[in-house]
Amino acid sequence: MVQGGKEVSPISQLIKAEKIPYLVKIRQKFQQDYLTDQEIIQKIRTDIDRQALLEKVEPGQTIGITAGSRGIANIVLVTKTLVEAVKEKGAVPVIIPAMGSHGGATAQGQEAILAGYGITEETMGCPIHSSMDTLQIGTIEGIPVYFGSFAAACQGIIVVNRIKAHTNFRGSYESGLMKMLAVGLGKQRGAALCHTEGFAAMARRLPLIGGEILRKAPILMGVALLENAYERTCQIEILPACEIEEREPLLLQAAKARMGRIYFDSCDILVVRQIGKNFSGDGMDPNVVGRFSSQFVEGGLEAKRVGILDLSEETYGSAVGMGKADIVCRRLYEKLDMAATYANFLTTGNPFDYKIPIILDNDLSVFQALIGSCWNIDRENPEFILIKNSLEIEEILVSPALLAKCPYPDQIEILSEPFPLEFDSEGNLVTVF
């Protein structure tokens, strides 16, 4: 159909009557304590020295320092501090990408991810050895245990990771040091073996495989990082290899207590402006948005309809998590790199997060279609939430109808009067919040 000299989509005609509600900007209140840069450096250096964790490192030895694929707060500072500590012993620090199948399961892709975070040979002052090569270092309960070949040849390895809740299963170990050992340093082959029996078995397999690696690989220590809901480092634990198995479950409990969340139990419509691997391994964290790809975990927001508008640049075309949405903008689809996305699927074996949702031409159409397709709602006053991504949830937009039902009023602060969202002539959202 042509209207005013411009072709109009038939879909746009079907949904043009749907009214997007005015929204209110609110601030969600979370625990705010964090460590300064100087405190981070001092904590790492003091704990390493106090526990003499580098005492046996000799000049000329190669010491691997892991770096993962998540957007971890202060990861450049943490990594650089470890590099300098190793250099002071006369040893040779080498950064090892430990990402399982991320980066399209290629050495180049994984090195590019680190560069995106600011971890390069120039900024770190040491080599980066990116490889997908593995070797079998053991067997546990009939499961072959694979480990990065280069890491296995190092004289010592420092394992670094953030401790947090996993998005697809619950257990004593979820996302953290044991996962970095079993999945990250296992490269694609090891990660695939961890996922072979699905998420039902992950709570058992992670410590099983991770424990075997602790016994067989030259692990010196673990650096466990905890973040508050504002993505700021709030706690660091330097653990000798022999204490990782015992301490990590306690750190996971502490991390879960600090998690950000949306202070509403349910809504009609949730729109997420961006998803990406830099926000969550699932593109958008189901612990926040409530749509899990696994039957072995639940929680978060209960939304009748979910829409996504865009992919982050830092995700390098990986659209993991798009399957959680009902409708997405064409902009997201055009940025989709199927190789980068499907490599992760072939590792996890769970297709839910990788399926392509309904695609509409612009943001406005996504908003209107979400409302128009939602059953049993008050279309004049829908319960609506708009967030930037699943990490930055301090300031979000909600409709007045939903705000009136907030079950945690003491945890939010109202920052604006209701206002309309603005879209450009192409139907793209231009409102900034």
Q: Is the Cβ–Cβ distance between 189 and 146 less than 8 Å?
A: yes
CATH number, domain of 248, equals 3.40.50.11440
> Which residues are paired to 412 by β-bridges?
28
Q: What is the pLDDT of residue 223?
A: 98
Give the model's pLDDT for residue 1.
44
Contacts of residue 110, Cβ cutoff 8 Å, sequence gap at least 6: 69, 97, 99, 102, 103, 130
Do 230 and 116 share a structural domain? yes
pTM reported for the whole predicted model: 0.77
Residue 360 lies in a domain: yes
Q: Please give the residue range of the domain that contains residue 54.
A: 37-257
Q: Copy the structure tokens of residue 366.
A: 């996504």
Domain boundary among 235, 257, 279: 257
User: Is 10 domain-assigned?
Assistant: yes
Last residue of a domain, one of 240, 257, 274: 257
Other CB atoms within a 10 A radius of the CB of residue 353 amount to: 26
Q: Which tokens is 273 given?
A: 């402006």
Whether 175 and 275 share a structural domain: no
Domain assignment present for 250: yes
pLDDT at 431: 97
Low-confidence stretches of the chain (pLDDT < 50) are 1-5
Are 275 and 400 found together in one domain?
Answer: yes
What digits encode the pLDDT tens for the residues 369-414?
Answer: 999 999 999 999 999 999 999 989 999 999 999 999 999 999 999 9
Tell me, what's the pLDDT at 3? 45
Are the C-beta atoms of 329 and 293 separated by less than 8 Å? no
| The domain boundary residue, chosen from 205, 228, 257 | 257
Q: How far apart are CA 211 and CA 169, in angstroms?
A: 19
Same domain, 391 and 408: yes
Residue 369 corresponds to which tokens in the numbers above? 């279609």
Into how many domains does the chain fold?
A: 2
Residue 419 belongs to some domain of the structure: no
